[in-house]
């Protein structure tokens, strides 16, 4: 006798698609285990926490970007300074090599001059004189190379000193900016920690699909308000376009996710603010 097996169909979650329609989002929102009204309240609380965090970040203004830019500039100045120092070291080695070459030329000249005293053949005499002239020319070229290199080293050192002065100024600027930023962060650290904990608590209650839509809306609008109430009794609190009476009834019922047809924000019952 064949036994009858009961099979329970598992609920299949479709993958999140950032291009999905708000109709599918509304359906997913309604199918959630959490009651719709509670979910809407949680979205409002999430937006409230995010808005307060945004205000704290705004207090810091451009300081984080300025600190990052100064750090990048200082790193570039240090790299350039190191490169110039390496060039100066190489130029000094070139001078040392040129001095050794000059000493060798002088030694050869002295040797040829001593040989001239013992030579009676005019042909060999002329040949040695020619070699002495060549060595003397090479010695002069070496001395010119040393002088030119010293001039180049002087120019590089002046450039390096200018870079060091600029680096010192930028490092002082960075220290001041960092201190200013640290002061602001320290003053708001406790409040921000509380808000972020509240945000995480709200986010944990919301399904991934709705969170994805929420984050997408926040990123697409200038004021980062993804969840808004009704403005002046009949308008969207985000774009201020008029909401139809039917939609206002639906918003007040707290039984459905309502999306503004103009700006795409989530509109919730303004009573949640109380």
- What pLDDT does residue 26 have? 67
Task: Give the pLDDT confidence of 143-162 residue by residue, as tens digits.
Answer: 999 999 999 999 999 999 99
Please tell me the predicted confidence (pLDDT) of residue 116. Answer: 86
Compute the half-sphere exposure of residue 65: CA atoms within 13 Å on the CB side of its CA.
4
Query: Which pLDDT value is given to residue 241?
Result: 93
> What pLDDT was estimated at residue 14?
43
Question: Is the CB of residue 18 less than 8 Å from the CB of residue 153?
Answer: no
Summarize pLDDT for 6-63 with one digit per residue, the tens: 444 444 444 444 444 466 666 667 666 778 889 899 999 999 999 999 988 888 888 8
pLDDT digits (tens, 9 = 90+) for 62-105: 889 999 999 999 999 999 999 999 999 999 999 999 999 999 99
Res. 222: pLDDT tops 60: yes
Q: Which helix (H) or strand (E) holds 230?
A: strand 230-231
**pLDDT average, residue stretch 254-269:** 88
Alpha carbons within 13 angstroms on the beta-carbon side of residue 100 total 6
Residue 187: pLDDT over 90: no
Distance CA 10, CA 28 (A): 16
Q: Residue 269: what pLDDT?
A: 87
> DSSP string covering 164-229, please?
HHHHHHHHHHHHHHHHHHHHHHHHHHHHHHHHHHHHHHHHHHS-HHHHHHHHHHHHHSTT---EE-
Q: Do 239 and 262 meet the contact criterion of CB atoms below 8 Å apart?
A: yes
Would you call 4 exposed, middle or buried from its count of C-beta atoms within 10 A (0-12, 13-18, 19+)? exposed
C-alpha distances in Å from residue 45, one per residue of 38, 229, 241, 274: 10, 12, 23, 11
pTM over 0.75: no
- Which letter does DSSP use for residue 89 in this model? H
Query: What is residue 4's predicted lDDT score, i.e. its pLDDT?
Result: 41
Q: Which of 120-124, 129-133, 176-180 has the lowest mean pLDDT?
A: 120-124
């Amino acid at each position: 006798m064949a036994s009858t097996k009961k099979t329970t169909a598992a609920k299949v979650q479709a993958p999140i698609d950032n291009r999905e329609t708000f109709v599918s989002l509304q359906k997913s929102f309604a199918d959630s285990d959490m009651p719709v009204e509670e979910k809407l309240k949680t979205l409002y609380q999430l937006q409230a926490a995010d808005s307060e965090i945004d205000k704290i970040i705004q207090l810091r203004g451009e300081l984080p970007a300025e600190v990052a830019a100064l750090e990048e500039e200082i790193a570039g100045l240090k790299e350039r300074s190191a490169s110039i120092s390496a060039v100066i070291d190489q130029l000094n080695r070139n001078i040392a090599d040129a001095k050794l070459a000059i000493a060798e030329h002088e030694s050869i000249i002295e040797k040829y001059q001593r040989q001239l005293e013992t030579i009676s053949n005019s042909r060999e005499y002329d040949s040695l004189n020619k070699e002495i002239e060549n060595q003397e020319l090479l010695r002069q070229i070496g001395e010119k190379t040393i002088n030119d290199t010293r001039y180049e080293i002087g120019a590089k050192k002046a450039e390096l000193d200018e870079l060091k002065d600029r680096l010192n100024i930028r490092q002082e600027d960075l220290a001041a900016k960092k201190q200013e930023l640290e002061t602001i962060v320290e003053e708001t650290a406790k409040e921000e920690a509380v808000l972020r904990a509240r945000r995480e608590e709200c986010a944990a209650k919301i399904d991934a699909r709705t969170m994805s839509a929420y984050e997408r809306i926040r990123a697409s609008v200038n004021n980062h308000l993804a969840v808004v109430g009704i403005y002046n009794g009949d308008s969207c609190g985000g774009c201020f376009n008029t909401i139809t009476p039917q939609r206002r009834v639906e918003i007040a019922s707290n039984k459905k996710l309502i999306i503004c047809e103009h700006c795409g924000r989530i509109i919730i019952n303004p009573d949640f603010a109380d």
